[in-house]
Amino acid sequence: MALKLLETADYTEMSRRAADIIIKEVKEKPNAVLGLATGSTVLGVYRELAADHRQHGTSYRHVRTVNLDEYVGLGPDHPNSYRYYMNHHLFTHLDIPLHETHVPDGLAADLDEECRRYERLIDELGGIDLQLLGIGRNGHIGFNEPGTPFSSPTHVVKLAPLTREANARFFPSLDDVPRYAITMGIATILRSRRIVLLASGEEKAEAIARLLEGVVTPDLPASALHLHPDVTIIADCEALSLIPKEKRKGDAP
């Protein structure tokens, strides 16, 4: 299936366009299930959602959320856990009940059972209406590293060195970056009814160029998105810098 590509001038416009899609989804379906991501790429989106809630009163009272991933070994109060990130950057700025926001439990005694529980949870919620994604420099989505089967459900993953290096800026040192994480699998992500992938900056340009080439391979996990019928990529001009300008409009191959 063709991917829809939206080019933006910069990070701010990318964030605003993505937030507009989420706000529209919530207004049209007040009990929507949102799949959420973490990291620096989506921070601007969450700032836009919080500002819209303050200024326009968009309500998240009946929304349910499920996050893509969590580090193994970090509890919800750890400042580098994704539960902490979500509470700090988004949930406490909205009227969403915290018990309706879900993140994998990185401290679960039985990690395999936690993965199965998370899959059941998503099914019990009725599936994900809109999944927000970033993309790693090596093309990972969630923490699905290159080589991950497209049939994978939620699972425990050993993080690639490039991924740990990219996240080291959030930790005191590289040694402090967890080596494992729980992540929604590629199959889990592809069951979402709609997917929005964001990319910003020159460091994402190579991954986006490979994605838009249209070759579907586990070596580039994001290429699985070509198998989904409703994917929108919102990328700024720096992230699209390796794509010829005549190919930046409309649908990708």
Q: Which one of the listed residues 69, 129, 236, 238 is annotated catalytic?
A: 69
3-state helix, strand and coil shares in percent for the chain, rounded to the nearest 5? 40, 20, 40
User: Amino acid identity of 201?
Assistant: G
Q: Which one of the listed residues 138, 155, 236, 238 is annotated catalytic?
A: 138
Q: Report how far residue 111's alpha carbon sits from residue 95's, in angstroms, rounded to the nearest whole number.
A: 31
Q: Which one of the listed residues 119, 145, 236, 238 is annotated catalytic?
A: 145
Q: Which two tokens stand for residue 234?
A: 């919102």
The question of whether 56 is a catalytic residue gets the answer no
The question of whether 176 is a catalytic residue gets the answer no
Q: Report how far residue 200's alpha carbon sits from residue 11's, in angstroms, rounded to the nearest whole number.
A: 6
The question of whether 99 is a catalytic residue gets the answer no
Q: Are strands 4-8 and 231-236 parallel, antiparallel or unpaired?
A: parallel
Closest by CA to 62, choosing from 19, 35, 101, is 101
Q: Report how far residue 245's alpha carbon sits from residue 227's, in angstroms, rounded to the nearest whole number.
A: 25
Q: Which two tokens stand for residue 84?
A: 């902490």
Q: What's the half-sphere exposure (Cβ side, CA atoms, 13 Å) at 184?
A: 28
The question of whether 138 is a catalytic residue gets the answer yes
Q: Which one of the listed residues 53, 102, 140, 155 is annotated catalytic?
A: 140
Active site residues: 69, 138, 140, 145
